[in-house]
Amino acid sequence: MNIALIAHDKKKNDMIRFATAYSEILKNHKLFATGTTGLKIMEATGLEIHRFQSGPLGGDQEIGAMIANNKMDMVIFFRDPLTAQPHEPDVTALIRLCDVYEVPLATNMGTGEVLIKGLQRGDISWRNIVRGNTENTITD
């Protein structure tokens, strides 16, 4: 599965703890992240991650393009609901794309844990059917 990991500045430490706790599950999938978040996760966990630009510089939109092209299977996006984001329209567009293309989306650690456990059990394998792929790992 292709999984995007995104975190606003005040949620990056939460994302690092999450990725560390679930690294044994995440290592079996292709990971994508916005710039700084991806770097911090890689440094903390050793996971291989394709890094896009940082969110404000277009990283959210790059992940959105993958969603719109049916190349993203799950998005874990730890948002900071208490801080105004200069790229809020991009954030809103990303969430909207997840809804339009039925891509599972977690916006906080609680929901992220539910999705990652579902991924571990195989509950997200329906994404392979949607994409016409019967393999467990998506590579492009």
pLDDT tens, residue by residue, 46-84:
999 999 998 888 899 999 999 999 999 999 999 998 888
Active site residue 60: yes
CA 29 to CA 136: how far, in whole Å? Answer: 9
* Average pLDDT value over all residues in the chain: 91
**Predicted local confidence at residue 96, as pLDDT:** 96
- Record the pTM: 0.90
Judge contact between 20 and 40, C-beta under 8 A.
no
Residue 9 DSSP symbol: G
Catalytic residue among 9, 14, 60, 140: 60
Q: Could you count the other beta carbons within 10 Å of the beta carbon of residue 58?
A: 17
Q: Is the Cα torsion angle 21, 49, 38, 73 positive or negative in sign? A: negative
**Predicted local confidence at residue 139, as pLDDT:** 44
Residue 108 DSSP symbol: S
User: Residue ranges of the domains in the chain?
Assistant: 2-130
**Predicted local confidence at residue 137, as pLDDT:** 44
Among 4-13, 56-65, 82-91, the least confident range = 82-91
Level-2 CATH architecture, domain 2-130: 3-Layer(aba) Sandwich (3.40)
Strand partners, 106: 76
